[in-house]
Structure 1
Amino acid sequence: MFAAANQTHFSLHIDGLEHDFQVLAFDGKEAISQPYAIDLELVSEHPSRDLESLLHKPAFLQLGDDGRGLHGLIYRAAQGEAGKRLTRYQVTLRPQLAYLAHRINQRMFQHKTVQEIIAQVLEEHGILANAYQFQLGATYPQREYCVQYDESNLQFIQRLCEEEGIHYHFRHSADGHQLVFGDDQTVFPKLAPVQFQHDSGLVADTPMIKRFALRLETRTSSVSRRDYDFKKPLIQLEGEADSHDEPALEDYDYPGRFLDRPRGKHLANRALERHRSDYRQASGDSDQPLLASGHFLTLASHPNASWNDLWLLVELRHQGRQPQVLEEAITSDIDPRFDGFQQGYRNFFVVTPWEQPYRPPLNHPKPKVLGEQRAVVSGPAGEEIYCDEYGRIKVQFFWDREGRSDDKSSVWMRVASSWAGQGIAGLQLPRVGMEVLVSFLEGDPDQPLVTGCLYHGVNMPHYKLPDLKTLATIKSKEYKGSRGNELRIDDTTSEISIALRSDHGASALNLGYLTHPRPSGGAPRGEGFELRTDRHGAVRAAGGLLITTEPRANEAKHHKDLPETAERLATASEQQDSLAELAKQMQAQEPGDQDAVAKDLHKQHQGILGSGPGDLTKNEFAEFTQPHLVVSSPAGIALTTPGPNHLTSGSHLALSSTGHTSMSIGKRLLASASQGMRLFIQSLGLRLVAASGDIDFRALKDNINLLAKLDITANADRIILKAKTELVVQGGGSATTYNASGITHVTSANYTAHAAQFAHIGAASMAGTFPEPPKPGKGALELFNLYANTKGIKAGDYEVTDALGTVLKGSLDGQGFNAVSGAAPGPALAKFGLDTADTWSLGSFAKGLPWPKLAATEEGTPSMFEAMPDALTPEGGGAAMAKVKQLASSGMDAAKTGMSLLKTGQNALQGMQQVQGALKGGVAGLPQLATAASRALGVNRKAGAAMPGALPKLPAFKPPSLNPVTDLMPRELIS
């Protein structure tokens, strides 16, 4: 290859440095996706070169007169032995990228693509945009979270490229070297063809490929990847790629690190291409210095014509020697790397077919986090709780030097919970400033998971330890406040308790051994339970509520068990019945006076006690078939208040006691009854005593009757009997009558008078004073019938029953209001009619849509839509109305009712007509009315069937079966 033995071909150029270095030998390796390294053996006449001045200098190793060479930075410099005139030096050229191996870091990148991450790392090292370029064919998604974990910058870049299937190579010139990233074959430049010629040991005129060998090797034939996205947990994320080669050799891995199927398919394809990149691989030797890794080689003149094609130079080793630079012997020049190679240039290369996509092997796996890490919860300034809709939080890792403990310190991290599911929660969000423990799924630093919280020197345990080590607690703090809530479990020996507390209103439920707070001394406060608050309280049970002090040792019975209570209520009900019956016999009560009370008491008792054993398989028991409130105690019940005490019932009020009933009243006893008062004493009599003041009996409208089987005795200083018209005193068969006509004595036996003196003076009279009894006034009642939005229901009917049973009827105005006068004072019952604006209401006057008109059917009868309004409305003179009037002339005068018939179509819900009529007849006529209305409808089924889809199908009318007692209308419908 070399024309003259003393001619040099290799030279070294160092930027900014004058030198006399000559290249004695070099040996170097370059490969795709690897930083190259070229070791040079130099000689110089200067035995004391400053090695520091050599380091990091850009240098170019020129391999021939055509300018081809290798560029790099002097990465290593050394001085060897010195001869009489020449001294040996060694330097190593490496790309600037190699320097990244010496900067190790821990940091995170958020919401950046691989291209953006790599560019940022390169530019931090001064590798600016003119020194690298991306020639990527695919689009790469942003990585939400990407951690450089205890890796050098070089290892980090190589790992990212390997994960994505991105390769890189270098392009050299005398001015520098350029780093080129690519992801397909189009990025590789094409070299001029190189002839193949077997190595004969002779020097050829042109560079040749002297050896070329091919091998095939078994590789994976298919790839499957699977992953999981918690935001779409029901979607199975998979990606597959298959070369369809035999045998079937699958590479399956989870997690595949993707969140959608197209991305999974992309990664599976890249993995399969990586597996098969070196399935077909060739190696060879040449003396062509133009060869460079990351370039296409065109092989020519090979005996195997199928090999004369494009091949990608994957790896290349350069070697060169020019001993003619030595003018003296310094040391033995034997170097085992050159295995007898004495002079010139040679290389060894590895190539793959051009059509096989090149993917770098996974030589730099992602580091795994061994164990957990600690971090502090972070968030925006002033925020105490910072989370997203999934309950994820952000943290500041202690190793993170770039974070600012804010809402950008990390990505959202999921928080492990003791209980999580649809409608299931055990949520306790770590708050800003808390120290947390972070685990990593499968050791992946890109998949952090918060698993717990830790105390530290500032955030100490809430209760002093170990003094209060028996307390277990869940305690929270008011958001942006100082109060809190707490669930505290106290396992102190013989004094166990549990408390649920809220500082709002000092509200608490304390169970077990009650004490003051343990940190404050824990003084005893009692045993059992306490439910307390400084604010309002309410106890609600929609199915019924039992409050009792009846003992149930160790929860021996079901929670509604109340046989003692039921027995006492039954005894009281029987007592009510027996004494009421005796009162009726003694004519203290009218027949039926207490029947309603007795009926309601029996019904209430049955609603409390229930019937049957219940269904134990469903955990259902018989008691409380109605939502009663029962208060029971085997010892006693005391109710006391310094303010008013009001006991009210919307129905009946019964008071029973098997012993005495005592009332002690500090001032007056005031009793009012709107419909009579009956007092019956079975034995021992009635005693009414006024220690002072009058005893006043008045009947303002009717009589006062006194009846005694024996004597009626009146003792007083004076007894005055007054009668406005007549006074009759009768005893035995004799009587004395006093009236305006005089005094008349009547007797059938002797009349005896005893007097010391009898004087007859003459006629005289004494006028009495008789005050008029007060007349009860009439009460006034205001009625409002409103919607939930407080708007009045217009023109509705009302019916009021006053305290004397008088019924008053009328209609409300346009605002849903009316004032009712003439009702008796006292309680009243008001009933409102149906909403007249509701088109489905029987009392509605809302106007419907006009009825559609159809042509007569082939039989000549009107269609069902056409017949209906004529049959129903008085204006149409329909048959139904005529029948109503005919039936109204007979029957009982006491029965009055109306009936509405409604027909509607599916698409004409508001179209309706109303039947209103007055029926004065027996209830037996109601079915006839319904039958007549049915006939009047004139439904022609054939007409409806002849026009499918033209009109909505109506439900068939069926005459109702009416019960004369329960189904009569509550008011008249006036025709």
Structure 2
Amino acid sequence: MSIRCDLRFTFTAGAGADAFEVVEFHLVESLSETFHLDVQLSCANPAVDFGQILNRPALLTIWQGGQPVRYVHGSVTSFQQGNTGFRRTRYRAIVEPRLARLQLASDWRIFQALSVPDIATAVLKKHAITLDYEQKVTNPHAPREYCVQAGGTDYHFVERIMREEGFFYGFLHNAEGHRLIHCDRLWIFGKQPGLPVEYNPQAGGDRPGPALRSFTYGENVRTARQTQRDYNFKNPLYNQQTKRAGEGEGEEIYCDEFGRVKVQFPWDREGRHDEHSSCWIRVSQKIAGALWGHMAIPRIGQEVIISNFDGDPDQPVITGRSFNANQRPPYELPRHKTRMPLKSQTHKGEGFNELRFEDEAGQEEILIHAQEDQNNIVNHDETTFVGHDRKEQVEHDEIIDIGHDRTETVGNDEQVTIGQDRRHDIDRNDYLTIERNHTITTGKTAPNRWATTAATRPPPTNGWRLAGTWSNGWRAMRCWKRASQLSSARALSSYRLVKSSACTAPAEPSRCTTEASHWRGSPSP
């Protein structure tokens, strides 16, 4: 004889205008998962308003002995109408927690300097769940410097980061609602109230109280230990280098004929930091053409960024490089944040080559530094414009070879200082035009050196002109002989003169050898 059960079930949804009777229900719930209540209903109203039921609060109450012993509260996420009989119509409702609605929302956003519990609170606040939400935290959780929700649903994002920090969640139900609780310790929920549940493996029959009809016990193999090798660029492995087999110590560039290199991945626990740590990996360059382009081979110890073709880890490629605590930027930052350098380092040395741009307002500059030689090749024209001063310093020799003409124009003064000798070799003519004075000063007296200027030119004497003075007191005769007569005694005229280059004494003008010369000036009276 079966025992009569005093359990009964009620279901209310929406405003509660329609009375539903529970025909059957199936409830699935577990830790760290949203519960799922599938309830079969019947109602005398064959035209229930779905708008009053769907996405509205619903409550399933389990009664025993006239007292409620269990509540299941949630929101109706699905509602269906079935067949209509003589007096009643069948309905089906799916009830889930409000947390399940986060599966319908996705986003792209960044969280900075927030702990995981704070991030979860911010996401849940967006869905107005914070009033029925509680966190029971027993351990400190460090803020994350940078955390990204990359297009995933809000539900899976919160679940992922909370599980990474060791959180689990569950729900507490009452007649007024349900409460989401995140915990980082299992004992927080404590021992659940109620008597032990009877285990009745026999099929069929009624029991006076709740009973288990099926129970399964099992054991599984699980991970017993984990090794974390998260990489932090502020604290990289010191001197993480590889060397080529057979090479001596200190090698810093290791590549093949295609410019490929080998790397040591920080997650590779079996890598020995040698040439067998990876395959040859191609390096993305700024420009790559047939025997032309850009080439900068990563050196051992540099940090590189690796991507995979089509997500295949067997086809890695180096797509970038980055600085870290061991590989610092060329200049102190943010002090020199306006500098844009292209700076290399001498192979197995301390020197460097550099092309640097300074963009600070009022201090704009382009700097070129060559550690040894610098060669510039211009196949056609070269034009240089300097808006202000220009200074050029050569510590050793300078050689300028000009294949054709050279024109040099100085708008004001020109000063040339030569520490030792100067020599000019001219294959043909030399023309020098001086509008005013011309002074030559020598450190030693030279008897054969003489000079004359327009201001000190003496008048002609019997067709001859005296000029210059010997250092020993002799008057040197500069023999000028008129080749044409004055057309006017005081008018400017041209003279074609015959000059002597070897006047030995004033009294011996006949011994002067002559050669042609020109002079333009005022004639003597």
Q: Which residue of 2 aligns with 1:104?
A: 106
Shift of 1:38: 0.7
Paired residue for 1:548?
400
Residue 156 of structure 2 is matched in structure 1 by: 155
Whole-Å Cα distance in 1 between the matches of residues 71 and 451 of structure 2?
135
Q: How does 1:311-326 map to 2 (within 5 A)?
A: none
8 Å Cα contact 2:12-2:19 kept in structure 1: no
Question: What's the counterpart of residue 392 of structure 2?
Answer: 539
Alpha-carbon spacing, 1:177–1:653, altered in 2? closer, same or farther (3 Å): same
Q: Is the 8 A contact 2:43 2:89 kept in 1?
A: yes
The CA distance in 2 between the partners of 1:42 and 1:236, in whole Å, is 70
Q: Aligned runs of 1:566-645 on 2, under 5 Å?
A: 641=410, 643-645=412-414
For residue 37 of structure 1, what is the aligned residue in structure 2? 36
One-letter code aligned to 1:183: D
Rg comparison, structure with higher value? 1
Aligned twin of 1:12: 11
Q: Does 1:692 align with 2:458?
A: yes
Give the aligned residue type for 2:26. Answer: D
Match of 2:130 in 1: 128
Q: Residues 803-882 of structure 1: matches in 2 within 5 Å?
A: none
Post-superposition shift, 1:173?
0.9
Q: What does residue 53 of structure 1 align with?
A: 52
| Contact 1:114/1:142 (<8 A) preserved | yes
Secondary structure of 1:548's match?
A: coil
How far is the alpha carbon of 1:172 from its aligned partner?
Answer: 0.9
User: Pick from 229, 234, 254: which aligns with 2:232?
Assistant: 229
2:4 is matched by which residue type in structure 1?
Answer: A
- Give, in angstroms, the shift of residue 659 of structure 1: 8.4
Contact 1:194–1:209 at 8 Å: present in 2 too? no
1:80 counterpart SS class: strand
Using the size of structure 2 for normalisation, the TM-score is 0.57
Gaps of 5+ in 1: 238-252, 257-414, 432-473, 488-499, 501-508, 514-526, 552-634, 717-975
Alignment of 1:240-251 (within 5 A): none
* RMSD over aligned Cα atoms: 4.9
The alpha-carbon deviation at position 47 of structure 1 amounts to 2.1
Contact 2:56–2:76 under 8 Å retained in 1: yes
Residue of structure 1 aligned with 2:93, choices 80, 83, 91? 91
Runs of 5+ consecutive residues of structure 2 not aligned to the other structure? 241-264, 269-318, 338-354, 369-374, 460-465, 477-502, 510-525
Name the counterpart of 1:787: none
Post-superposition offset of 1:531: 3.3
Matched-pair contact (CA < 8 Å) for 1:511–1:530: no
Partner of 1:786: none
Task: List per-residue Cα deviations over 1:517-542 (Å, max 9, x = no partner).
Answer: xxxxxxxxxx3534332322222233
Percent same amino acid at aligned positions?
A: 23
Contact 2:57 2:74 in 1 (8 A): yes
Corresponding residue to 1:714 among 485, 507, 517: 507
- Is the 1:134–1:181 contact (alpha carbons within 8 Å) kept by the matching residues of 2? yes
- The number of residue pairs the alignment matches comes to 366
* Partner SS state of residue 714, structure 1: coil
Q: Does 1:219 align with 2:225?
A: no
More helix by share: 1
> Is contact 2:13-2:56 (8 Å) kept?
yes
Q: Within 1, Cα distance between the matches of 2:15 and 2:119?
A: 33
Higher relative contact order (CA 8 A, sep 6+): 2
1:673 offset after TM fit, Å? Answer: 5.7
Q: Secondary structure at the match of 1:101?
A: helix
Call closer, same or farther: CA 1:711–1:107 in 2, change over 3 Å.
closer
CA, structure 1 residues 72+540, in 2 after alignment: closer, same or farther (shift >3 Å)?
Answer: same
C-alpha distance in structure 2 between counterparts of 1:10 and 1:529, whole Å: 96
1:487-502 alignment runs, 5 A limit: none
Q: Secondary structure at the match of 2:228?
A: strand
Deviation at 1:122, TM superposition (A): 1.6
Equivalent residue of 1:143, what SS? coil
TM-score normalised to structure 1 length: 0.32
- Which residue matches 2:445? 677
Note closer, same or farther for the CA distance 1:538–1:43 as it changes in structure 2 (3 Å cut).
same
SS in 2 for 1:224: coil
Q: Are the structure 2 counterparts of residues 533 and 511 from structure 1 closer, same or farther at C-alpha, using a change threshold of 3 Å?
A: farther
Do the aligned partners of 1:228 and 1:236 also contact (CA within 8 Å) in 2?
no
Aligned to 1:190: 191
Whether the aligned pair in 1 keeps the contact of 2:33 and 2:170 (CA below 8 Å) is yes
* Whole-Å separation in 2 of the counterparts to 1:200 and 1:127: 43
Q: Deviations over 1:330-359 (max 9, x none)?
A: xxxxxxxxxxxxxxxxxxxxxxxxxxxxxx
SS of structure 1 residue aligned to 2:4: coil
Structure 2 contact 15–52 (Cα < 8 Å) conserved? no
Please report how far the alpha carbon of residue 162 of structure 1 lies from its aligned counterpart in structure 2 after TM superposition: 2.5
For residue 196 of structure 1, report the CA deviation from its aligned partner: 5.4
Shift of 1:9: 1.1
Query: 1:638 offset after TM fit, Å?
Result: 7.9
Residues 307-456 of structure 1 mapped to structure 2, 5 A cutoff: 416=320
Relative to 1, partners in 2 of residues 1:17 and 1:530: Cα closer, same or farther, differing over 3 Å? same
1:347-401 CA deviation, whole Å, 9 max, x = no partner?
xxxxxxxxxxxxxxxxxxxxxxxxxxxxxxxxxxxxxxxxxxxxxxxxxxxxxxx
Q: Distance in 1 between matches of 2:239 and 2:411?
A: 70
Matches within 5 A, 1:757-796: none
Residue 713 (structure 1) shift: 5.9
- How big is the shift at 1:77? 1.8
Once the two structures are TM-superposed, the CA of residue 698 in structure 1 deviates from its matched residue by 7.7
Q: Are the equivalent residues in 2 in contact too, given 1:42–1:90 (CA < 8 A)? A: yes
